[in-house]
Chain A
Amino acid sequence: MPPDNPLPDPPPAPAPRVLVVDDEASVRLGCVLALRSDGWDATGEGSSRAALERLTTRAEHYDVLVLDYAMPGLNGLELIAALDPKTRPPILLASAHADGAVACAALKLGVWDFLAKPLMPEELRRRVRRLLTRRHDAKAPGAWLARALGHCQNCAWDDALRELDTWPESERQQPAYLVTGLIHQMTEGQEPAAAAFKRAQWWPGWETQGAEIWQELARRLG
């Protein structure tokens, strides 16, 4: 016999919210549908200015932003620059053609996650999931890299470097050196950047390589 007064099911946790900003309606719709089918609360926005209004004026909350780079009006980077780095959600930048200048500017804006177009539903889901997971992981002890990347996302470079420095040398994983090198390179610390890149076995052609930097970051960060 079933209990008379069974405990009610806990209220379902709200699905993470994702804002997809792409001026291509079909791509936008595909992304939204792909994420919704994975349990995300995905919203599409076709205009970067409208997206900016949602995020600032209307102060809508999103857990992850998926932005297209090439858009009329404000492009993806300009939209990011208009957001407060300390309060904005993690961003996944998608583009069909990312050159070195774009990669460099994006990294300086704290955008360290890039998705090359054409998008595949499963890859999109995986990358968005990773962003969210990293945020959760950052709370766990020993997740120095996740916390450092969180600081990078907020453009808090000194905090990111400090976080990486607290990582015991003996346990430090190789991607840490790549992240350290990139931060030094952005903050004009060329010599420590070179030393870190050497340890990471990476020789970036800064300002010339775009997709390669993104791919290497994505590969090393998992």
Chain B
Amino acid sequence: MRRWNFISGLTVILLLLLVLCGFCVWTARTLSGEINQMISGNFDTLRALRGIRLAVSRIDAQYRSSTSTGEIPRALGLYELARTDVEQHLRLVRRTSSEEPEEVKVVARLEALVRDYFTYYDEYLALGRFEGDRFKALTRNLAQSAAEITEATAVLSDMNERDVLQRRSQATAKGQRVVYAALGIALFSIGIYVWTSIRLTRAIFDPLRQLRDSIVKVSQRQFDVAVPVKSGDELAQIATTFNTMASELRAYVAETDQRVVEANRVSRAILEALPYPIYIVDDSFAVRLMNPRAEQLSAALEIPGAVPGAVRRAIDDAAAIGGELIGDDLHRAVEVALPAATGTPATFLPQVFRMAGAAGVNEGWAVLLIDVTKLRQFDLAKSKALSIIGHEVKTPVTSIRMTLHLLLEEKIGALTADQRELVQAGRDDCERLLTVLQALLELARFESGRVTMRLVPVPPGDLLAQADAMHGDYLRRLGVAIVMEPTAPTLPAVQADAIHVVRVLGNFLTNAAKYGAPDQPVTLRAELRADAFVRLSVRNRTPRPLTEAEQTKVFEPFYRREGEGSEGTGLGLTICREIAAAHSGRVGVWASGDWVDFYLDLRIVSVSQNHAAGQPTS
């Protein structure tokens, strides 16, 4: 419909313009034809009348005015020529003159006068002399005829000039009429244009405005909108499409809402069913959500609706390492002291999850407090039991050892050779058993968190040097050289308890000497890692490369590689791992071909810690 309106409006305008153009062309052509005919007719007539007058004057001047010779000129060439000229002009006048009766009458009179004029002239030329009565009479007649011819031509000239003026007036009037007609058609076209424009504007912009308003509503999540469809044109198609889209969107949103509600219900059910407190907080520790267990915990701590300090500290720790804090490392467990009336202290292992938004921006934290009170109690009980059992076993072992040492001193009595050999074997076994016991007890102390590190800033190069100084001789006695790579002077200091770190490096070095390729040096090196750690590593060649599976197990307690002897406690690397954990560091091993690389990563000292260098850290 809108298209028909548009096309019909344009067609009417086009037709009107065509009519206007045609009318103008026709009018111009008509006027130019009339003017041309009028001008050419009148002009020919006027020229012919002037020619007649000139010819008559020439004849009179040649044959009647010169009387000095007394004889009329005998040469008649000019006369004949002028006469022919007059007759031709007369014919032209007759042909071009109008058919107005008055003009027809004047032309007839002019023809009669010309005829009389030449009749008189023929007779006059036949006289031969300017004398006699006849000559006088003919002279009078000729003068009168010439005067009358001149008068008649003048009359005809006036008539033609009047005719020209009249036709000009007519042309002017006709031109004005054409102008008025063109103006009328133009005005009519403008009217049609305005009318069409208004119709079109309403037809196009009103639906567009409705569409826009509907889109705004949809953007404001008001999906129950519909754009009216009034016709079948493109706008209607757009409106139909929009309505379909809005309808689908409404259905989708309803479905999504349903899913969200469902997911929310499931999440809430999970949160409520979980036996552990969960806190969901924003960056400023304001609680956004907590499950009933968390509400109970906060209430028990007499901070209803707020986050316990342990949770804030766990989030702070996670933020410090720029990520999440998850895992089952019981070293991270925190004890929450509940009011005496509420119950005994509880131990929780916080799991901190970072909640990132669409753009990766941190939008808060979810903290799950796994209740490890019992696990911790079991762990402590295990450590305690291990400790007690260890001591119970260790005590007699140490006394046996002391006894054997005393016997071997032979200060309280001499031994036979066989007795000495037997006692020596017993002492060696005793030493080995005691070493294992001590390692087990030490591991138990580490696991129970009873070992604290005295962390102070130490240059990594010093740690390598100390390890070399303490263990170099032992390796050299085994024929193994230590190559210490120079450390970069810009290498930052690390937080370390030097005694324990040197012990770890010593363990790596002695392992390298024991299990490495003979006559191959061991390399000690320190390098900066990108993640704020310095890596201290011991690198050497080995005749039996570590497999992938072995690399994952070497730090486990009592792990021994197949085919290896039972020397050592099997706990050395496990204790190294505990020492690393007590430094908030890490240990690991890489193997590539026959190269093996044991490393200890220690945290570098921050600027603020550097300023406080010299102060111990536990």
Binding site for B on A (CB under 8 A): 24, 26-27, 29-31, 33-34, 36-38, 96-97, 99, 117-121, 198, 203-205, 208-209, 212
A24 touching B395, Cβ below 8 Å: yes
B399 touching A27, Cβ below 8 Å: yes
Chain B stretch 397-413: residues in CB contact (< 8 A) with chain A: 397-403, 405-406, 409, 411-412
Given contacts A96-B394, A97-B391, A205-B618, contact A121 B399 (CB under 8 A): no
| 18 residue pairs from A and B, CB less than 8 Å apart | A24-B395, A27-B398, A27-B402, A30-B399, A30-B402, A33-B406, A34-B402, A34-B406, A96-B394, A96-B398, A97-B391, A118-B402, A120-B405, A121-B406, A204-B616, A208-B452, A209-B452, A212-B454
A96 touching B391, Cβ below 8 Å: yes
Asked if B456 CB lies within 8 Å of chain A CBs, one says yes
Q: Distance in Å from the Cβ of B453 to the closest Cβ of chain A?
A: 9
Given contacts A33-B406, A121-B406, A203-B456, contact A99 B450 (CB under 8 A): yes
In Å, the complex CA distance between A36 and B397 comes to: 22
- Other-chain contact of A26, B400, B405, B412 (Cβ < 8 Å): B400
Q: Distance in Å from the Cβ of A48 to the closest Cβ of chain B?
A: 16
Closest 6 interchain pairs by CB? A118-B398, A26-B399, A37-B411, A203-B616, A30-B402, A27-B399
Map CB proximity to A onto B436-451 as digits: 1 under 8 Å, 0 otherwise.
0000000000000010
A121 touching B618, Cβ below 8 Å: no
Asked if B55 CB lies within 8 Å of chain A CBs, one says no
Asked if B434 CB lies within 8 Å of chain A CBs, one says yes
Q: B412 to chain A: which residues have CB within 8 Å?
A: 33, 36-37
Map CB proximity to A onto B597-618 as digits: 1 under 8 Å, 0 otherwise.
0000000000000000011101
Asked if B396 CB lies within 8 Å of chain A CBs, one says yes
**In the complex, which of the residues A37, A118, A209 has the most CB atoms of chain B within 10 Å of its own CB atom?**
A118
Secondary structure at the A interface, as helix, strand, loop or mixed, is loop
Q: Distance in Å from the Cβ of A18 to the closest Cβ of chain B?
A: 16
- Other-chain contact of B615, A31, A118, A119, A203 (Cβ < 8 Å): A203
Q: A30 to chain B: which residues have CB within 8 Å?
A: 399, 402-403, 406
In Å, the complex CA distance between A204 and B617 comes to: 10
Chain B stretch 188-243: residues in CB contact (< 8 A) with chain A: none
Chain B contact patch, size range: 20 to 34
Secondary structure at the B interface, as helix, strand, loop or mixed, is helix
Q: A117 to chain B: which residues have CB within 8 Å?
A: 398
In Å, the complex CA distance between A118 and B397 comes to: 9
A205 touching B398, Cβ below 8 Å: no
Q: Distance in Å from the Cβ of B386 to the closest Cβ of chain A?
A: 12
Chain A, Cβ-Cβ closest to B402:
A30
Chain B, Cβ-Cβ closest to A100:
B452
Q: A208 to chain B: which residues have CB within 8 Å?
A: 452, 618
Map CB proximity to A onto B359-403 as digits: 1 under 8 Å, 0 otherwise.
000000000000000000000000000010001001111111111
In Å, the complex CA distance between A37 and B402 comes to: 14
Q: B452 to chain A: which residues have CB within 8 Å?
A: 205, 208-209
In Å, the complex CA distance between A208 and B406 comes to: 35
Q: A205 to chain B: which residues have CB within 8 Å?
A: 452, 454, 616, 618
Chain B, Cβ-Cβ closest to A120:
B405
Chain B, Cβ-Cβ closest to A212:
B454
In Å, the complex CA distance between A33 and B396 comes to: 17
In Å, the complex CA distance between A203 and B616 comes to: 6
Q: A24-B395, A118-B401, A209-B452 are in contact. List 9 more A-B contacts (CB 8 A).
A: A24-B396, A31-B402, A37-B412, A118-B434, A121-B405, A198-B614, A203-B616, A205-B452, A205-B618
Q: Distance in Å from the Cβ of B414 to the closest Cβ of chain A?
A: 13
Given contacts A97-B391, A205-B618, contact A120 B411 (CB under 8 A): no
Q: Distance in Å from the Cβ of B553 to the closest Cβ of chain A?
A: 30
Q: A26 to chain B: which residues have CB within 8 Å?
A: 396, 399-400, 402-403
B399 touching A24, Cβ below 8 Å: yes
In Å, the complex CA distance between A120 and B408 comes to: 12
Q: B403 to chain A: which residues have CB within 8 Å?
A: 26, 29-30
In Å, the complex CA distance between A204 and B434 comes to: 29
Q: Distance in Å from the Cβ of A210 to the closest Cβ of chain B?
A: 10
Q: B409 to chain A: which residues have CB within 8 Å?
A: 37, 121
Q: A204 to chain B: which residues have CB within 8 Å?
A: 616
In Å, the complex CA distance between A169 and B455 comes to: 31
B406 touching A37, Cβ below 8 Å: yes
Chain B, Cβ-Cβ closest to A27:
B399
Q: Distance in Å from the Cβ of B211 to the closest Cβ of chain A?
A: 75
**In the complex, which of the residues B402, B434, B616 has the most CB atoms of chain A within 10 Å of its own CB atom?**
B402
B402 touching A120, Cβ below 8 Å: yes
Map CB proximity to A onto B464-506 as digits: 1 under 8 Å, 0 otherwise.
0000000000000000000000000000000000000000000
In Å, the complex CA distance between A117 and B409 comes to: 19
Q: B616 to chain A: which residues have CB within 8 Å?
A: 203-205
Q: Distance in Å from the Cβ of A190 to the closest Cβ of chain B?
A: 14
Chain A, Cβ-Cβ closest to B441:
A97
Q: Distance in Å from the Cβ of B383 to the closest Cβ of chain A?
A: 12
In Å, the complex CA distance between A90 and B518 comes to: 52
- Other-chain contact of A119, B397, B398, B618 (Cβ < 8 Å): B398
Chain A, Cβ-Cβ closest to B397:
A118
Q: A209 to chain B: which residues have CB within 8 Å?
A: 452, 454
Q: B395 to chain A: which residues have CB within 8 Å?
A: 24, 27, 96
Q: A38 to chain B: which residues have CB within 8 Å?
A: 411
Q: Distance in Å from the Cβ of B24 to the closest Cβ of chain A?
A: 112
Chain A, Cβ-Cβ closest to B391:
A96
- Other-chain contact of A121, B394, B402, B434, B615 (Cβ < 8 Å): B402
Q: B456 to chain A: which residues have CB within 8 Å?
A: 203
Q: Distance in Å from the Cβ of A211 to the closest Cβ of chain B?
A: 10
Q: Distance in Å from the Cβ of B247 to the closest Cβ of chain A?
A: 71
In Å, the complex CA distance between A24 and B398 comes to: 11
Q: A31 to chain B: which residues have CB within 8 Å?
A: 402
- Other-chain contact of B394, A99, A118, A198, A203 (Cβ < 8 Å): A118
